[in-house]
């Protein structure tokens, strides 16, 4: 037995291609996901240098960021060129691509796990910061820029420095009305929007063990909003249950070998993290962001904070700017904020469980007059599953729009964008200025709060509905 190691160290060490003294580690990448928005320049770079894709079978491409979510939409010429560029690049290089209309199309971070492509112990990269999602499986998954996409296409490797490790221990029992979205927002509120800079987070504790795979994905997804390079959860029975029988999961004897290997993927007792944060979840209530970064979060039951109460002058200035952008006055109850648009979707909360949670609240109710509810499933598979369960009828009966999969209003790259200073309750991950539209005002919430808000027309939790 060697020294006690963290899960992060184990994942790292098994991917070091060759350790050479004085050189940074060269890591092998098991799976590369790609999409239309951050890949064209990488393929161009390869072409210019006369290089080929080393392992086309280890890359999967999807159309998601820039696709329309209505069947009759006409794409603008610039968007069309981007999609056609991806199609041509994939055809030239022998890379599998699921285009709009394909029954496996959807958001990269929703489709990868659905197909069983994401497995414990793997390294996964994508030209997208929310690649952290896949850490839910006990995989080392991180977002990269386009230069690194090119590097991975050419070499299937990346040279990177080792991250520091951060243990996040969620202690206590998660109350029934809150979920993974609250866990991650509470963490970000505690440590700040770049509080985990340079770190890889391992989420631990009973509250995490009790989460479904979908919820673990929500949790790991927003690791980047805490500034972390990645977030991971050690695999367990829940992970195996999810993976068993998925199209790319191992079968037969391979499954047994894989499961035996995966069972070693946990932090050893006594292993040391560089840093630990303990967060008690017992009294956690639904949370909502009030500002323009995800650390600016309060309980739904609270009021808009007064910037003067922030001791740090920089935080005070940031709060003042955020309030002015958000059009908010200190002391206003969050529940009094009228909402124009509710967005249910994204790689954070666009999975089947999220739609079930929202549909559970909406069943037999209607969306408030003056409020729009946009439901954008994370993938064609999620959409099909939801329709098989009749969830789409719940949404449509309530007066919501039932859309085709894509990133949609998470980043407003297509036409799903807020107008003017519209206020939105969104299940996505970023409340940055201008993210959902040039002057758009975003409040991040869970799917349950999103649904209740759509019914109330103002920020609300399911318990607030009569």
Partner 1 sequence: MEPFVEHHGRAVALRRDDVDTDQILPAEFCKRVVKSGYEDALFARWRAEDGFVLEQPQYADATVLLAGRDFGIGSSREHAVWALRDWGFRAVVATGFGDIFRRNALNNGLVPVDLPTPVVEELMALAESAEGLRVTVDLRAGLLRRPGGEHPFTVDERARARLLEGQDVIAATLLRNEDIEAYEARRPAWLPEIPRGAFDRTERSEVGA
Q: Which residues would be at the binding site for ligand SF4 (CB under 6 A)?
A: 64-65, 107, 109, 128, 130, 346-347, 407, 410-411, 428-429
Which of 8, 11, 62, 100: binder of partner 1 (CB under 8 A)?
A: 100
Closest by CA position to 337, among listed 295, 386, 286, 303? 303
Q: Are 40 and 10 in contact (CB under 8 A)?
A: no
327 in contact with partner 1 (CB under 8 A) = no
**Cβ at position 130, least distance to ligand SF4 in Å:** 4
In the numeric block, which tokens belong to residue 30? 């098991």
**Cβ at position 218, least distance to ligand SF4 in Å:** 11
Q: Are 65 and 413 in contact (CB under 8 A)?
A: yes
Phi/psi at 289 (nearest 5 deg)?
Answer: -85, 145
In angstroms, the first-to-last Cα distance of the chain is 59
- Which residue, 280 or 393, is less far from partner 1 as judged by CB? 393
Q: Are 420 and 327 in contact (CB under 8 A)?
A: no
Stretch that binds partner 1, among 73-81, 212-220, 301-309, 348-356 (CB under 8 A): 73-81
Which of 94, 327, 390, 420: binder of partner 1 (CB under 8 A)?
A: 94
411 in contact with partner 1 (CB under 8 A) = yes
Question: Could you tell me which residues come within 8 angstroms of residue 1 by beta carbon, excluding any fewer than 6 positions away?
Answer: none
Q: Are 152 and 32 in contact (CB under 8 A)?
A: yes
Which of 5, 116, 162, 169: binder of partner 1 (CB under 8 A)?
A: 116
CA distances from 193 to 231, 430, 431, 457 (A): 14, 11, 11, 29
- Work out what residue 107 binds among ligand SF4, partner 1, none; the CB cut-off runs from 5 to 8 Å by kind: ligand SF4
**Cβ at position 434, least distance to partner 1 in Å:** 5
- Which residue, 336 or 387, is less far from partner 1 as judged by CB? 387
- Which residue, 10 or 430, is less far from ligand SF4 as judged by CB? 430
- Work out what residue 104 binds among partner 1, ligand SF4, none; the CB cut-off runs from 5 to 8 Å by kind: partner 1
- Work out what residue 367 binds among partner 1, ligand SF4, none; the CB cut-off runs from 5 to 8 Å by kind: none
Which of 248, 275, 335, 356: binder of partner 1 (CB under 8 A)?
A: 248
Mask: binding to partner 1, 9-48, rule CB under 8 A, as x and -?
--------xx----xx-x-x-xx-----xx-xx--xx---
Mask: binding to partner 1, 270-299, rule CB under 8 A, as x and -?
-----------------------x------
Closest by CA position to 305, among listed 295, 317, 294, 291? 291
- 410: Cα within 13 Å, side-chain hemisphere: 26
Cite the beta strand spans of 108-163 per DSSP E: 123-126, 140-143, 157-160
């Amino acid at each position: 037995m060697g020294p006690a190691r963290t899960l992060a160290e184990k994942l790292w060490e098994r991917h070091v291609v060759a350790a050479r003294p004085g050189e940074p580690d060269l890591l092998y990448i098991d799976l590369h996901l790609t999409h239309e928005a951050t890949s064209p320049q990488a393929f161009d770079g390869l072409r210019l240098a006369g290089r080929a894709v080393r392992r086309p079978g280890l890359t999967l491409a999807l159309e998601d960021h820039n696709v329309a979510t209505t069947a009759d939409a006409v794409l603008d010429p610039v968007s069309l060129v981007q999609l056609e560029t991806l199609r041509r690049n994939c055809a030239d290089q022998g890379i599998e691509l699921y285009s709009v209309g394909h029954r496996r199309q959807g958001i990269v971070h929703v489709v990868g796990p659905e197909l069983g492509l994401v497995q414990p112990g793997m390294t996964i990269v994508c030209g997208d910061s929310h690649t952290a999602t896949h850490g839910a499986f006990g995989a080392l998954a991180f977002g990269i820029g386009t230069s690194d996409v090119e590097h991975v296409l050419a070499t299937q490797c990346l040279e990177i420095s080792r991250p520091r490790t951060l243990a996040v221990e969620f202690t206590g029992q998660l109350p029934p009305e809150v979920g993974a979205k609250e866990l991650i927002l509470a963490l970000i509120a505690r440590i700040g929007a770049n509080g985990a800079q340079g770190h890889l987070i391992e989420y631990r504790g009973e509250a995490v063990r009790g989460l479904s795979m979908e919820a673990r994905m929500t949790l790991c997804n927003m690791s980047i909003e805490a500034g972390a390079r990645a977030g991971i959860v050690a695999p367990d029975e829940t992970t195996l249950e999810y993976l068993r029988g998925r199209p790319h999961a191992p079968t037969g004897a391979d499954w047994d070998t894989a499961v035996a290997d995966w069972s070693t993927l946990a932090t050893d007792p006594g292993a040391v993290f560089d840093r630990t944060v303990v967060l008690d979840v017992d009294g956690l209530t639904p949370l909502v962001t009030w500002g323009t970064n995800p650390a600016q979060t309060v309980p739904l039951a609270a009021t808009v904070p007064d910037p003067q109460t922030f001791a740090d002058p920089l935080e005070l200035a940031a709060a003042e700017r955020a309030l002015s952008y958000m059009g908010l006055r200190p002391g206003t109850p969050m529940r009094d904020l009228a909402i124009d648009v509710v967005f249910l979707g994204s790689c954070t909360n666009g999975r089947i469980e999220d739609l079930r949670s929202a549909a559970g609240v909406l069943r037999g109710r209607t969306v408030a007059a003056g409020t729009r509810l946009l439901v954008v499933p994370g993938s064609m598979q999620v959409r099909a599953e939801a329709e098989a369960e009749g969830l789409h009828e719940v949404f449509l009966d309530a007066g919501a729009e039932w859309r085709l999969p894509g990133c949609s209003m998470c980043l407003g790259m297509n036409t799903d964008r807020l107008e003017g200073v519209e206020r939105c309750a969104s299940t996505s991950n970023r409340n940055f200025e201008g993210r959902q539209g040039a002057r758009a005002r975003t409040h991040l919430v869970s799917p349950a709060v999103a649904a209740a808000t759509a019914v109330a027309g103002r920020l609300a939790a399911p318990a607030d509905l009569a």
